[in-house]
Amino acid sequence: MGSNGFWCQFDAFAKPLKDFRVQTVSGALVSILSSVVILFLFFSELIAYTTPQAKQEIVVDIDRGRKLLIELDVSYLFIPCTMLNLDTMDSTGEQKIDVNQQIYKTRIDSAGFPIGATRRDDANPSQGKVATKGPDYCGSCYGAESETRKCCNTCKEIQLAYQERHWVVKNLSVFEQCREEQWDDTLANLGSEGCRIQGSLEVNKVAGSFHITPGNSYAADQVHVHNLQGFDGQKLNMSHKIDKLAFGNMYPGQTNPLDGTTMNIVEPAQMVTYYMKLVPTMYVSYNTTTRSLSTVHTNQYSVTWHSKGSPLTSDSSGIPGLFFNYELSPLLVKISYEHNPISVLVHTSGRRTSRTH
């Protein structure tokens, strides 16, 4: 007996002679179908094995020293850019009045289409006035001059000077700078154009808020004050669109609940407040190009909102504008991806094979 014959003795599935074999169409179909099922199961398990699995962990957030990045793209549909200010404040008492760095404003019509070019909000409007009236031009502040403010070259600088002295401005048309800027025409045409505000804010990683409101704001004795002198409350339409509002850089697949939101506010001069609960999130992924781990620090959030009137149109104590209040969770969600070990592939495949039998 040869070596092949020796090993053949261990064949538990003896083959019948060829004369006794019967091949049928149904048998061929079963064989083909079985092969397809086996291949499908094999490749599906292989794909599942090679696809990294998301893993989420919840830990205490101990990193409070990091700054919080806020990226925004908000449009007022019926209030022009010259009337809007953006302020921030937080629970530590820090306030930033009329934030303009990294903020860009674009005039838009009521349909949201741009009118003219995008302008960076920290561009100094008084430079153009000085250029037309000479390098030595120093506009009058009409009695509101101070040690820190000797000149008022624009209508807004006059309003700020009056606010610093806690004086009330009843009629802007009496000031030369306001007449040259056609401020009365701007008030008269309120509601015919809007403003798109884009950019980013960097604030402390604590509970806080930011708001975009018409009028001028200032701090008086550590109190945040809004001056709405000269505004007709019936013309202040707070309808707006939020194209983007993100707290931190976004990771793949992340969605923000306010992105793409349009709010049509029927009542005039409303105070629209958004309340957001932020959950700090750390997204860790493997960069195949650099063969290293990359980390994205961001925040997921949920939101509710509320609207109420203002003294311009009702007895309510609200301030017309958009207010965004946020609180941070003390817990952090860590999202990471990990590959399955080879034992998972073998175990899963073996389990499915046993089920097919």
* Residue 130 CB-density burial (10 A; 0-12 exposed, 13-18 middle, 19+ buried): middle
Asked whether residue 128 carries a pLDDT value surpassing 70, the answer given is no
pLDDT tens readout for residues 246-264: 999 999 889 999 999 999 9
Q: How far is it, in rounded angstroms, from Cα 319 to Cα 137?
A: 36
Highest mean pLDDT of the ranges 80-89, 314-323, 342-351: 80-89
Q: What pLDDT score was predicted for residue 182?
A: 73
Residue 11 confidence (pLDDT): 65
**C-alpha to C-alpha distance for 355 and 198, rounded to whole angstroms:** 58
Cβ(177)–Cβ(139) under 8 Å? yes
At 43, the pLDDT band (50, 70, 90 cuts) reads confident
Average pLDDT for residues 319-337, to the nearest whole number? Answer: 92
Which residues are within 8 A (CB) of 219 and not within 5 positions of it... i.e. 6 or more apart? 95, 97, 225
For 1-46, the DSSP string reads --HHHHHHTT-SSPPPPGGG----HHHHHHHHHHHHHHHHHHHHHH
263 vs 240: CA distance, rounded Å: 5
Name the pLDDT band for 336 (thresholds 50, 70, 90): confident
Short-list 112, 280, 274, CA closest to 198: 112
201 forms beta bridges with: 70
Residue 289 has pLDDT above 90, yes or no: no
Tokens 């975009």 sit on residue: 212
pLDDT value for 316 = 72
Q: What is the mean pLDDT of the chain?
A: 81
Q: What is the pLDDT of residue 230?
A: 62
What pLDDT score was predicted for residue 120?
65
Contact in structure between 72 and 99 (CB atoms under 8 Å): no
Worst-scoring range by mean pLDDT, 28-37, 132-141, 264-273?
Answer: 132-141
Question: Model confidence over 3-23: pLDDT tens digits?
Answer: 666 666 666 666 777 766 777
197 or 112: which carries more pLDDT confidence? 197
29/332: higher pLDDT: 332
Confirm if 172 and 142 have CB atoms less than 8 A apart.
no
What is the band of 68 on the pLDDT scale with cuts at 50, 70, 90? very high
Of 176 and 5, the one with more pLDDT? 176
Do the beta carbons of residue 242 and residue 259 sit within 8 Å?
yes
Query: What pLDDT digit, counting tens, does each position of 222-235 carry?
Result: 677 777 766 666 67
At residue 337, the pLDDT reads 74
Asked if residue 61 lies in contact with residue 329, where contact means CB atoms within 8 angstroms, the answer is yes
- Indicate whether 354 pLDDT > 70: no
pLDDT bracket for residue 340 (50, 70, 90): low
Whole-angstrom CA distances from 93 to 66, 79, 100, 243 are 18, 29, 20, 29
231-245 burial string, b = 16+ CB within 10 Å, else e?
bebebbbbbbbbbeb
**SS3 label, residue 161:** helix
Check: CB of residue 211 under 8 Å from CB of residue 76: no
Question: Tokens in use for 54?
Answer: 């998301």
The reported pLDDT for the residue numbered 292 is 72
Query: For position 22, what pLDDT does the model report?
Result: 73
At 351 the pLDDT is 53
Tell me which of 294 and 207 has the higher pLDDT: 207
Whether the pLDDT of residue 122 is over 70: the answer is no
Mean pLDDT, rounded, for 29-40: 89
d(CA 82, CA 98): 12
Amino acid in the structure at residue 85: N
Mean pLDDT confidence for 183-199: 79
In single-letter form, the type of residue at position 246 comes to A
Dist CA 234 CA 267 (whole Å): 9
Q: What CA–CA distance (Å, rounded) separates 240 from 196?
A: 9
